[in-house]
Amino acid sequence: MTTFDFKYTPTWEPHETTTALRVQARIEALDSMDNDLVSMIQLETADIKASYDSYLRMSGAFFASLGAAEKKALAMAPQNADCRGEVLLLLLGLKPSVLFAYGTAPAFAARIAAGLVEPWLAAIPPAARDRHALRKIEADFVEPAKGVNFKHGYVLSDTGSLRRREVDDAFFAPEAYAPALLMSQIGRALGYPSKHGAKRNSRVNFVVDGGGDDLRAVRRDSDLVEFLVEGPNEIPRAARYYLKCAEAAAPFANLRFALCGRVLARDRVEALARDEHVDETAAAIAKANRTRAPVFDRE
């Protein structure tokens, strides 16, 4: 089995030791919340590559088979609709589950499950196939926010994840949670780095977007992973999660970090991960976006 060391160790040396220890303690406290994120079952690199290459190939064939009307109703690029970035992180053991749900075309979840995900699971190496399960959401009450309903969606989950109970509860027994807490529970079930009760006001993307220009606008359809965190408090944690994912995904995809629609240079992301220059980065993004703050109104 392949194992990864995902712990990100800050290398900066602040002038005041007390400040360094305080910041380090805060980082360790936040990261301790995600000790259960990495899967207990790690796949060999060859099995990950074979599985991911197969997913991309089969996705291409699946979307090529769709009619024009179906593609128009979906209103999403194939590389976004197939959740390929999420699937890669799932294979890498850095994500408990992937949600296939489409607000503009709810019936498409069953279409992609039958036409892509199920055939893919049957075709990949046994070690990868045995670690994953695909299930349909039947509950009427999986509605974590107004206008958001995941009924008839599908969940592809890692059976080796220490968060598998949270996946079960969030999508298949959501009555266990008050509506105000359900979105947080779903975020944890999907592996996103946000704490319970956090406001979802800052959009994070992992993009495949060449070039090193700092604060450049995200290129359309280049994002592979998207989630919301509470800004500015959770932005350092999101940056550390990105560094873990980018390192593990490097043989398969060159992921860049984007915050509120702006791709950030690597050195800026590393500073954020060390809990440094958060306010300065927020101001720079706000200026680039011509907004008061780099946050989104939706929760």
The pLDDT of residue 40: 85
- Tell me the C-alpha distance between 56 and 82, whole Å: 9
- Tell me the C-alpha distance between 129 and 132, whole Å: 6
Quick one: pLDDT band at residue 290, thresholds 50, 70, 90?
A: confident
- Tell me the C-alpha distance between 188 and 170, whole Å: 9
Catalogue the long-range contacts made by 60-63 (C-beta closer than 8 Å, 24 or more residues apart). Answer: 62/112, 62/115, 62/116
- Tell me the C-alpha distance between 125 and 228, whole Å: 33
The pLDDT of residue 244: 93
- Tell me the C-alpha distance between 284 and 299, whole Å: 23
For 28-52, what is the mean pLDDT? Answer: 78
Residue spans of the domains in the chain: they are: 33-191, 195-299
Q: What is the tens place of the pLDDT at every residue in 156-197? A: 999 999 889 889 988 888 666 666 677 778 888 999 987 766
Q: How many residues does the chain have?
A: 299
| Higher-scoring residue by pLDDT: 228, 13 | 228
The pLDDT of residue 146: 62
Q: What is the tens place of the pLDDT at every residue in 1-34? A: 433 333 333 333 344 445 555 545 544 554 555 6
The pLDDT of residue 220: 81
What is the percentage of the chain residues whose pLDDT exceeds 90? Answer: 53
The pLDDT of residue 35: 61
Residue 57: count of CB within 10 angstroms of its CB: 12
Backbone dihedral angles phi then psi of residue 43, each to the nearest 5 degrees: -85, 155
- Tell me the C-alpha distance between 114 and 124, whole Å: 16
Cβ atoms of 107 and 151 closer than 8 Å: no
Cβ atoms of 294 and 268 closer than 8 Å: no
β partners of residue 136: 154
| Higher-scoring residue by pLDDT: 55, 298 | 55
User: What are the distances in angstroms from CA 82 to CA 15, 18, 216, 221?
Assistant: 47, 47, 25, 12
The pLDDT of residue 54: 98
For 81-85, what is the mean pLDDT? Answer: 97
- Tell me the C-alpha distance between 224 and 92, whole Å: 15
**What is 67-125 written as a DSSP string?**
-HHHHHHH-S-HHHHTTHHHHHHHHTT--SEEEE--TT-TTHHHHHIIIIIHHHHHHS-
Longest Cα–Cα distance in the chain = 63
Q: What Rg, from alpha-carbon coordinates, does the chain have?
A: 19
| Higher-scoring residue by pLDDT: 232, 192 | 192
**What is 112-157 written as a DSSP string?**
HIIIIIHHHHHHS-HHHHHTEEEEE---TT---BTTB--TT-EEEE
- For 11, half-sphere exposure in the C-beta direction (CA atoms, 13 angstrom radius) is 3
